[in-house]
Structure 1
């Protein structure tokens, strides 16, 4: 393999000048170069006139052309070559490409990893690498391709989100989110790590939208904290999500201040929707005046739900017990959470109602303990991995946290804390965590497969799409959840 010529297109320094642009080693190790390859790239022969090659590059909007003979890569022609070797030297545009191309360019095999590409580009100062096996061209990777993959790091996405100056720019950045989920799942990250990273992006979008809103509206007239609930609150967002949020205002806020906070909420909520976070169908958002209130009103809400736990109160309490502060004065939230947990856990009637609420969603099992699927309707022959998969465990985790006055909001953290604190037995907690891991992982892998296939992510899975091994583990996970629900219903599922 020959050393690259100085004119084998030098990498644009801006591509690599930011420390954050370096990918994490864990991402690099598991990412094959073929994931980035432009297959069947536009090519030319050594005899192609320079002018024809230049017109081809302009028409295809590409910065380089592999030069091939009988499928073998013998050179590469770049925009820089046209500048330095043709225009700067006054060479005739009728001359063949062979006179100005970089001959025998450095290549990598299709077995290379993204780490190899990055190292080669940085060490050699090049930005176009042909991928070739036994000399035959497989495809081409450019620094633009690499930058695109690098952008699939949550650190980079959040960095870029923080640098945006408009919602339109934010939309451009967050378009990478589905690919991020696919890459994280493909890299075999634990499901809790995947959903945490995906949620980190939503948090960054929210914070940036709040900053842009304040820049437009001026300083807030009173302190506030923006809090998320639902999957964002629990840091469990996947490829299918909407927005659930609220504004907790300082008690110094006056009624006339709501004009400001209503506008702020609208800017943020509309921005989230533009970035793919759908509006909540139940209007549990800060744009709804009910969820944009001073702290004293929020305390009244929780007091009323605890003292009068009707079905609506149970539903609202279930959602709002998952609140997590995103931006603002977090002290407004901390005291509310501790006081609410203390009062709710001490009210046995409320706890009993929450136990009943945790039974509303059951794992899909037949009488004979097989996996049950509907035989008709839009989702026939499928399992809803959200409503009948993770939600029953989310409900149990919330119940354990309430009973034990545990502050974690993430479901897995709640289950672990419940086992460690004695709210449930260690064996029961361990079984439930493992069941949750199985169901949540299968859900994410299903969504990733759909995204890779160019389809929208959903929570509906046909069990026949799983291997026998996966299907049996899913069935066993559902059995664990049913067992824990039965124990709760019989009063034996918690030790306190």
Structure 2
């Protein structure tokens, strides 16, 4: 396959016109690396953008801690190129690997010439780039929850009590449903306390009447410019229907300051679980910020998951500090959404411990205490206990490697209902902290053994079809029929989970080591497990469903609500519902092809 043909199947080059794609391919250079060979080291000048044509690349931080494992069609090195041209990480070939190198000068020329290319690679920059994203962010992504409102005849004393109890810096003053003024803590200080007004004075005497406002379609920079020009710290947002929200200086500061890198930095130095819990409480705001800034769902969930990884590693370190060094090597692994790097604003914990085969029964007391310390800490930080007890605190999921190997062999040899469920969970394992060598080879070995057992694969396929997209009759969407989520779509169980299941089956059939769902589908296309058109359709469907789920959660966060996975179809326009339904149809089509054992479209 020519370089141009290969790049035509890799995003974002697949969006380039044929002539531009040919020009890029003409200057792209193939390079080969042997297993274990360094591609570059942190601090080295980058030669260009790296695209994996075949093989596997491990990316680690400057201290050698693993960050990611990349396969064919993945791109790396862009973060350094988008900054000063120096590598921010280490990269080495895990297996014999062929790399396509787009030299630096040609990479820069490409992103300077093509705005879409620039935007794509800019999304991979360090999250601090969000400090300059107010020009791209609607005020709806910045607004505080529905602001507190009072009537003009409310007394200053009553207003002060409300502001104190609700810990807010402003009150909207509303008359006959319309905004007529705003009262801030600055007003109370300068106009009430300083002038010693009677506490029974109505707020109408002190408020800023007819405050300047902005509409919901304004952008963040509009708010900032207005604040600078008028010397104000609060801007009400008013739509035709009335008061919609308020943006404060605190909202802008939080938006510009919050980033996953800073949260991870703080987590890495947290002294205890209480401090970590304070840090993870910033995650919903980060999620809303990332979504509001236009980041793709897989970028957002990757950054959110990186925080969970950092919190887990810090708890492991704190646990060892409290309990003493581990008696034998161990490895903490995550499964579920954390394992796949797909965490959103709603996540429980799914984790296991693999111990060195040197471990004895006498060592279990230590690892039991370590597992409890970390699991309790995660729960304290908002990663609630797994309702199915899929945690390292369960002795069943805290075993030496030889036992784990027997587990997988038994599930494959005897694929009953429980074995299918457990195998599905365990195929999403990803090392988080400890001795990574304990897992080396086990995943590849298990995939190969699974793929050879046609009965096991058939059972796994059947199990994966248990989650159906929410398609109703007459081109409608099927909603939850009863309970607190009645008339809503479960965007997790009936939305993204069917696609997660499909990606896992493709990885099983192709013996693909990728764990992330999007990467699994892309790798399955490269490996010929599914066709290019089928992969594109499924990826487009996945992107729409997963993005809809994140948009829903971000909206809940901005309203001050706890995010969940249940969305009312009525909140979507007819156009949005139609496209969402089409995405679910694609998923059902791919499920049907899988069930019938025919070639995937």
| Cα drift, residue 113 of structure 1 | 7.0
> Which whole-Å CA distance do the structure 2 matches of 1:120 and 1:212 have between them?
46
TM-aligned CA distance change 1:156 to 1:29, over 3 Å = farther
The alignment status of 1:308 with 2:393, answered yes or no, reads no
Corresponding residue number in structure 2 for 1:216 = 322
- The one of 503, 506, 510 aligned to 1:397: 503
The alignment status of 1:445 with 2:551, answered yes or no, reads yes
Secondary structure (helix, strand or coil) at the match of 2:441 reads helix
TM-aligned CA distance change 1:397 to 1:278, over 3 Å = same
In the alignment of these two chains, the number of paired residues is: 430
Taking structure 1 as the reference length, what is the TM-score of the superposition?
0.76
Secondary structure (helix, strand or coil) at the match of 1:389 reads helix
> Which whole-Å CA distance do the structure 2 matches of 1:457 and 1:404 have between them?
36
The alignment status of 1:317 with 2:317, answered yes or no, reads no
Corresponding residue number in structure 2 for 1:294 = 400
| Cα drift, residue 455 of structure 1 | 2.2
Corresponding residue number in structure 2 for 1:383 = 489
> Which whole-Å CA distance do the structure 2 matches of 1:37 and 1:238 have between them?
20
The alignment status of 1:170 with 2:248, answered yes or no, reads no
| Cα drift, residue 151 of structure 1 | 4.5
TM-aligned CA distance change 1:119 to 1:300, over 3 Å = farther
- The one of 335, 345, 354 aligned to 2:451: 345
Corresponding residue number in structure 2 for 1:195 = 301
The alignment status of 1:238 with 2:344, answered yes or no, reads yes
Contact 1:23 1:153 in 2 (8 A): no
Contact 2:320 2:326 in 1 (8 A): yes
The alignment status of 1:454 with 2:589, answered yes or no, reads no
> Which whole-Å CA distance do the structure 1 matches of 2:490 and 2:251 have between them?
36
Contact 1:109 1:131 in 2 (8 A): no
- The one of 509, 530, 533 aligned to 1:427: 533
Corresponding residue number in structure 1 for 2:360 = 254
Contact 2:144 2:558 in 1 (8 A): no
TM-aligned CA distance change 1:405 to 1:22, over 3 Å = closer
TM-aligned CA distance change 1:254 to 1:201, over 3 Å = same
Contact 2:223 2:235 in 1 (8 A): no
| Cα drift, residue 350 of structure 1 | 0.6
Corresponding residue number in structure 2 for 1:491 = 597
Structure number with higher strand proportion: 2
The alignment status of 1:282 with 2:282, answered yes or no, reads no
> Which whole-Å CA distance do the structure 1 matches of 2:219 and 2:465 have between them?
47
> Which whole-Å CA distance do the structure 1 matches of 2:556 and 2:463 have between them?
32
> Which whole-Å CA distance do the structure 2 matches of 1:285 and 1:313 have between them?
17
Contact 1:151 1:157 in 2 (8 A): no
Contact 2:590 2:600 in 1 (8 A): no
TM-aligned CA distance change 1:267 to 1:116, over 3 Å = farther
TM-aligned CA distance change 1:40 to 1:261, over 3 Å = closer
> Which whole-Å CA distance do the structure 2 matches of 1:493 and 1:276 have between them?
43
> Which whole-Å CA distance do the structure 1 matches of 2:295 and 2:581 have between them?
23
> Which whole-Å CA distance do the structure 2 matches of 1:31 and 1:367 have between them?
38
> Which whole-Å CA distance do the structure 2 matches of 1:140 and 1:297 have between them?
56
| Cα drift, residue 273 of structure 1 | 0.5
> Which whole-Å CA distance do the structure 1 matches of 2:579 and 2:300 have between them?
21
| Cα drift, residue 368 of structure 1 | 4.2
| Cα drift, residue 367 of structure 1 | 4.6
Q: Give the CA RMSD over aligned residues.
A: 4.0
Deviation track 1:92-133 (CA, whole Å, cap 9, x = no partner) reads x99xxxxxxxxxxxxx99799767999999xx9xxx974689
- The one of 513, 517, 521 aligned to 1:415: 521
Corresponding residue number in structure 1 for 2:435 = 329
Contact 1:369 1:479 in 2 (8 A): no
TM-aligned CA distance change 1:120 to 1:213, over 3 Å = farther
For 1:69-80, list aligned pairs within 5 A: none
Deviation track 1:171-219 (CA, whole Å, cap 9, x = no partner) reads 1111111111111111221111111111111111101111111111111
Unmatched segments (≥5 aa) in structure 1: 1-19, 42-55, 66-70, 80-92, 95-107
Greater length-normalized contact order (CA 8 Å, ≥ 6 residues apart): 1
TM-aligned CA distance change 1:140 to 1:182, over 3 Å = closer
Which structure's CA Rg is the greater one?
1
Deviation track 1:384-410 (CA, whole Å, cap 9, x = no partner) reads 111111111111100000000111101
| Cα drift, residue 380 of structure 1 | 2.4
TM-aligned CA distance change 1:470 to 1:221, over 3 Å = same
Deviation track 1:343-366 (CA, whole Å, cap 9, x = no partner) reads 111111110111111111111223
Corresponding residue number in structure 1 for 2:82 = none
| Cα drift, residue 150 of structure 1 | 4.0
The alignment status of 1:205 with 2:317, answered yes or no, reads no
Contact 2:504 2:517 in 1 (8 A): yes
Contact 2:255 2:289 in 1 (8 A): no
Corresponding residue number in structure 2 for 1:182 = 288
Unmatched segments (≥5 aa) in structure 2: 1-125, 150-160, 171-180, 196-211, 237-244
